[in-house]
Amino acid sequence: MATAIVRRGLKLGGQAAVMVALILGLVAFVGTNKSVVLNVDGETSDIITFGGTVEDVLAKADIQLAAADRVVPAASTEVQDGTTIEVTTAKTVDVNVDGTGHTIQTTGATVADLISELRVSAKSSVSASLDTSLLSLQGLSISTPKTVTLLADGQTRQLETTAGTVGEVLAEAGIAVGSSDRLSVPARADVADGMTLKVTRVVSGTEDTVTEPVPFETRSVEDAELFEGEKKVTEAGAAGERILVFDTVVVDGREVNRVLVREDVTREPVTETVAVGTKKRPAPAPAAAPGGTAPAGGAWAALAQCESGGNWHINSGNGYYGGLQFSTQSWLGAGGGAYAPVASDATPEQQIAVAENLRANGGWGHWPSCARKLGLL
């Protein structure tokens, strides 16, 4: 029996030792265990760990960090009970800045974060709102402010714009471009800082109507009643009229080309008819005799005989002078002033020379009565 009691005591002692070991192990477990909060891109989970570093906790959670990922606190930091570990995985975003494409790795959460990271101007035009999550973003276009010099309609303006293309700049400035107008840079071209953009206005297809005279022609007809060298208008000519219609091209208000597209004669010209003498002239009068007497024979001597009785220096006070009875007006008008103030003071030769000038413009009609008597008319 004593042996049985000893055995029971040993058994109880062993059980007590096991219980003590279990209790001590539990105490040790509770004492070294730590609760850690893990936040990965906004999704949280609780991690129970015996300790170690942030890197150990991430390995236990099977989280592999890429080079561009961000972790707070740092991976080498020892964790404490209640530590919160923040992991932000890098996102790949296709970004187009002023027409140039880039692929960006970022740990930012929103478009605003990415704009700040890229350090572009706050005045930039962005294709998505600043609070848009990068997780839902397919791509992002950014147009930074640029200075553009705009020349249009006689004005020069400097604009600061975030427009992406030339066409957008023109729309922003309220400049309409017609189908015939020309641009110094294509409308689809990207805007560059310091760009000069010129709009050239072209107006074509505009008709310009001009009225002008149509010159008349001259027709000559032989006339045996006029002496050779004499001419007489028997039917006056008259200019006609026509309308010319031109198709014009105007560039910035200045005409650069015109093409005649239509011509209409609204009034026909009237041809002028001129009679040209064919009658032979009489032989010239002989030279005057010494002392200023009348030249012997000839038409002028006969005419002087009829007009003044052959007295080449007569001044009867009737307003007509000399052998051929010139008025002062006729004498001076035919060039007699080169010889004398009145015909009676000139020699017969000088009077005949002036008479020839007069006859060349009007014929023998200047002496109608005597010329008719002598058969000169």
What was the pLDDT predicted at 12? 44
What was the pLDDT predicted at 183? 94
- The DSSP letter of residue 190 is B
State whether CATH 2.20.230.10 applies to domain 204-278: yes
Report, as ranges of residue numbers, the positions in the chain whose pLDDT lies below 50. Answer: 1-10, 12-13, 16, 18, 20-31, 284-297
d(CA 294, CA 308): 11
Can you count the helices (H) and strands (E) in the chain?
8, 20
What was the pLDDT predicted at 351? 94
What was the pLDDT predicted at 323? 94
d(CA 334, CA 367): 15
d(CA 97, CA 202): 35
For residue 289, how many C-alpha atoms fall within 13 Å in the half-sphere facing its CB?
Answer: 9
Same fold, 34-88 and 147-200: yes
For residue 164, how many C-alpha atoms fall within 13 Å in the half-sphere facing its CB?
Answer: 12
289-373 in CATH: which number?
1.10.530.10
In the chain, where are the structural domains located? 1-28, 34-88, 91-143, 147-200, 204-278, 289-373
What was the pLDDT predicted at 250? 93
What was the pLDDT predicted at 21? 45
**Highest CATH level, class, for 34-88:** alpha beta
Q: Is residue 244 classed exposed, middle or buried when 0-12, 13-18 and 19+ CB atoms within 10 A define those classes?
A: middle
What was the pLDDT predicted at 240? 95
For 346, residues 6+ apart whose C-beta sits below 8 A from its C-beta are 322, 336, 339, 340, 354
- Which of 204, 195, 196 has its CA nearest to residue 152? 196
SS3 332: helix
What was the pLDDT predicted at 166? 93
What was the pLDDT predicted at 19? 54
What was the pLDDT predicted at 24? 41
pTM above 0.85?
A: no
147-200 in CATH: which number?
3.10.20.30
Predicted confidence (pLDDT) per residue in 210-249, tens digit: 999 999 999 999 999 888 888 899 999 999 999 999 999 9
Residue carrying structure tokens 């706050």: 122
Cis peptide before 73 (omega within 30 of 0): yes
d(CA 365, CA 302): 15
Largest CA distance in the chain: 213
